Amino acid sequence: METYATALLYATPFFLGLVLFEIAYGHFVKNQKHNIMDTVSSLSSGLTNVVKDSLGLVVILVSYPFLLEHLALTEIKATWLVWVVAFIALDFAGYWNHRLSHHVNFFWNQHVIHHSSEEFNLACALRQPISNLLGYFALLLIPAALLGVPHQVIAVLAPIHLFAQFWYHTQHIGKMGWLEYVIVTPSQHRVHHAINAEYIDKNLGQIFCVWDRMFGTFQEELDEVPPQYGVLKPAQTWNPIVINFQHIWRLIKDAWRTNSYWDKLRIWFMPTGWRPADVKEKYPVQIIEDVYNFKKYMPESSKALKGYSIFQLVVTTAMMLFMFYSYSEIGVSGLLLFGAFVFLGVYGYTTLMDRAKYAAWIEILRGMAGLVLIFMTDDWFGLNAYWSIGVYFVALYFVITIFGGIYFTYYEKSFATPKLVS
């Protein structure tokens, strides 16, 4: 986990820099694909994901080393061939994991966050899950285990394979000629994120598009069908933590409400979106019918709130990077507490972005909790060792958080009710 945290310490600024570059480019060419609140929400989702992963908050059903030990029929020597085979095996497993997430109710919950943005840009690539609490991916790597691919090779390639999926989340790159027959391109991935009937559940590949062509899930981007983005059951919130568990909560409620014991059981394994007939009739859920004329989620917000949201994102990112930098010094219990502050922070300011009336209480709670921790330890997770006055700035941040929560909840009441705009 410490090695992963160190990698994130350097990877995070790199990805954020690319997002800023895309924003600047969109402004320069007068074709902006970002809006402030959506981008803050996307980046905040990325923070929760990397903190969760760095803390190892997952229950591993089976590990790849275990499968390798018990299933290997041969062993590929550590040459260039093993890296090629391992990368192809990872991509093959990634395709089927992705397909599983799109086609099974239970697994859609861990992927819906990635599709929840109604924009399509590099920031939405960072909408990654915290709800993937069951580690089963190794089961999809059985082909690699049978071939005897060393687990060290998989461990090195897995984050590279994940990071390589970032670049094609953009609308600024058109079709790429012959590469469209080899790799996943921005054009193909725009199709994947679209909610148009022609595009739903298509282009599930991650690096190579050959799997889609082989298994019948490929769809070219059509000029006459411009992609529309989001999910058919709109999230209608900027809070990434809420989005992560919206779908599973709906499943729980439907399983509880249905009168059929068979439906209570099978709802988890049915195709994504399936609901028991009795529940579907009695408790309808809003679904987008006209993808070209639906109203995007956009609560009214002042320039001050937009600026304040960016401020919260920047400070939270800085805190997270400090956590990664001091990973070993902070210790296990300290890391869990630090992670809780990051999660509570994201939950607090994104709830404030939603104009929820209870947001002030969350911000007051986390502000007071931070100040109490500073008072009790006279430090902030060892920050004094690096910056003698740093703890005072952290304390000031929590004071600003308390007053910010109060101000934007009670003194900007005219913006308190979310509205949907086109």
Number of H helices, E strands in the chain: 18, 4
Whether 100 maps to a domain, the answer reads yes
Domain boundary among 231, 260, 291: 291
Higher pLDDT, 90 or 1: 90
Q: Which domain holds residue 336?
A: 303-421
Identify whether residues 203 and 266 lie together within a single domain: no
pLDDT band at residue 416 under the 50/70/90 scheme? very low
Whether 414 maps to a domain, the answer reads yes
Whether 240 maps to a domain, the answer reads no
Spatial separation of the C-alpha atoms in residues 61 and 141, rounded to whole Å: 13
Identify whether residues 72 and 99 lie together within a single domain: yes
Neighbours of 325 (CB within 10 A): 14
3-class DSSP string for 278-335: HHHHHCCCCCCCCCCCCCEECCCCCHHHHHHHHHHHHHHHHHHHHHHHCHHHHCHHHH
| Token digits of residue 55 | 């803390």
Identify whether residues 321 and 384 lie together within a single domain: yes
Strands 420-421 and 134-135: unpaired
pLDDT band at residue 422 under the 50/70/90 scheme? very low
Q: What's the average model confidence in pLDDT over 304-311? A: 98
CA distances from 53 to 1, 62, 86, 156, 291 (A): 8, 17, 22, 16, 34
Whether 317 maps to a domain, the answer reads yes
Spatial separation of the C-alpha atoms in residues 223 and 226, rounded to whole Å: 6
pLDDT digits (tens, 9 = 90+) for 226-264: 999 999 999 999 999 999 999 999 999 999 999 999 999
Whether 15 maps to a domain, the answer reads yes
Identify whether residues 265 and 159 lie together within a single domain: no
Whether 378 maps to a domain, the answer reads yes
pLDDT digits (tens, 9 = 90+) for 388-410: 999 999 999 999 999 999 999 99
| Token digits of residue 37 | 């609140």
Judge whether residue 338 has pLDDT over 90: yes
Whether 297 maps to a domain, the answer reads no
Identify whether residues 85 and 191 lie together within a single domain: yes
Identify whether residues 193 and 329 lie together within a single domain: no
Neighbours of 242 (CB within 10 A): 18
pLDDT of 414 reads: 52
pLDDT digits (tens, 9 = 90+) for 49-77: 999 999 999 999 999 999 999 999 988 77
Spatial separation of the C-alpha atoms in residues 240 and 129, rounded to whole Å: 9
Distance of CA 394 to the CA centre of its chain: 27
pLDDT band at residue 419 under the 50/70/90 scheme? very low
Identify whether residues 169 and 251 lie together within a single domain: no
Whether 229 maps to a domain, the answer reads no
Identify whether residues 269 and 410 lie together within a single domain: no
Instruction: Spell out the residues 6+ positions from residue 19 whose beta carbon is closer than 8 angstroms to its own.
Output: 39, 43, 121, 122, 123, 126
Identify whether residues 201 and 250 lie together within a single domain: no
The total number of structural domains that make up the chain: 3
